[in-house]
Amino acid sequence: MLKSQSGLAAAEDHAVRDAFLLTLAAFLTLSIYSFLYGDNPFYRFAEHLFVGISAAYWMCQGFWSTIVGNFIPRTLPSFAEYFQVPYKGFSWHYLIPVALGIILLMRLVPKLSWISRWPLAFIIGTTAGLNLPRYLQSDFIQQMNNTFISILPDWQGIGPFFSTLSLSAEGQLAMIATNLVIFVGVICGLIYFFFSKEHKGAFGVASRIGIWVLMVTFGASFGYTVMGRISLLVGRITFLFHDWLNIL
C-alpha cells in the first residue's frame, strides 16, 4: 500500500515537472517570437539564456571529450583513475595544446591579452588549412565535375531516340534538356563576369541570359532558406498548439 502511494506520488511529481518544463519551453518560444513586435526584455532574456546555456553545454562537451578524453589519460595514472578513464601512458605532446589553451585565456587579462593572439592565429591557420581541401573538393572540384557533362547522354542515334521518346524525368529527352540548360547557364554565367569585352551584340545577349541564370539561382537559394525557416515556424506552432495547449 505504501509502495503504491509512493509510486503515485512520484508519477505526480514527474507530471508536475513535465508540465513546468513544457510551459517554460512555450514561454521561451513566445519570448523569441516577441522580437517580431520589437526588441523587448522577454526576447533579450531568452536570447541571453540560449547563449549562456549553449556556451555552458559546449564547454562541458569540450572538457569531457577533449581534456578528460584525450589529455587526462596521458598525464598521470592517478588523474586517469580519478576521472575513471583508462591510462594510456604519459605523452608530452599533449602539453602543447594545453599550454596554448592557457595562453588563450590570457585574453581575460587586459595587460597580457596580446599573448592570446598567438594561439588564436594558430587555431585560425589550422582550421583554414584543414577546411581548405574539404571546401576545395566539395565547392570547387565537385562543382566543376558536375559541369563537365555530356549534352547527349546515352545517345544511340535518331531512330532509337524517337522510338524511346519519353517525357519522364528519367527519360533521355529530359536528360538532354537538363544538361543543355546547365551547359548554356554555365557559359552565359561566366560570360557575365567577363568584363574585358563590352557586353553588346551576341556577347551582350549571353551576358543578359547569364544575369537571368544568376537571378534564378539566387531566388532558388533564397526560397530554400525561406522554406527552412517556415518549416521551423510550423514546428514551433505545432509545439504551442499541440504539445502545450493541446487544442490540435
Give residue 217's pLDDT.
Answer: 92
pLDDT digits (tens, 9 = 90+) for 203-241: 999 999 999 999 999 999 999 999 999 999 999 999 999
Give residue 108's pLDDT.
Answer: 87
Give residue 42's pLDDT.
Answer: 94
User: Mean pLDDT across the chain, nearest whole number?
Assistant: 88
Give residue 29's pLDDT.
Answer: 93
Q: What does DSSP assign to residue 140?
A: I
Q: Look-up: residue for cell 498548439?
A: 241
Give residue 4's pLDDT.
Answer: 67
8 A C-beta contact, residue 28 and residue 39: no
pLDDT digits (tens, 9 = 90+) for 173-183: 888 888 899 99
CA-closest candidate to residue 32, choices 17, 57, 13, 51:
51
In angstroms, the CA 77 to CA 36 distance is 55
Give residue 2's pLDDT.
Answer: 56
The model carries a pTM of 0.67
CA-closest candidate to residue 217, choices 167, 181, 244, 170:
181
pLDDT digits (tens, 9 = 90+) for 11-31: 777 888 989 999 999 999 999
DSSP 19-40: HHHHHHHHHHHHHHHGGGT---
CA-closest candidate to residue 32, choices 248, 240, 247:
240
| Ranges of the chain with pLDDT below 70 | 1-5
8 A C-beta contact, residue 22 and residue 244: yes
In angstroms, the CA 150 to CA 100 distance is 52
Give residue 118's pLDDT.
Answer: 92
8 A C-beta contact, residue 112 and residue 106: yes
The residue type of 7 is G
In angstroms, the CA 10 to CA 199 distance is 77
The residue type of 73 is P
Give residue 224's pLDDT.
Answer: 95
User: All 3 cell numbers of residue 64?
Assistant: 569531457
Which residues contact residue 130 at a Cβ distance below 8 angstroms, ignoring those fewer than 6 apart? Answer: none
In angstroms, the CA 190 to CA 177 distance is 20
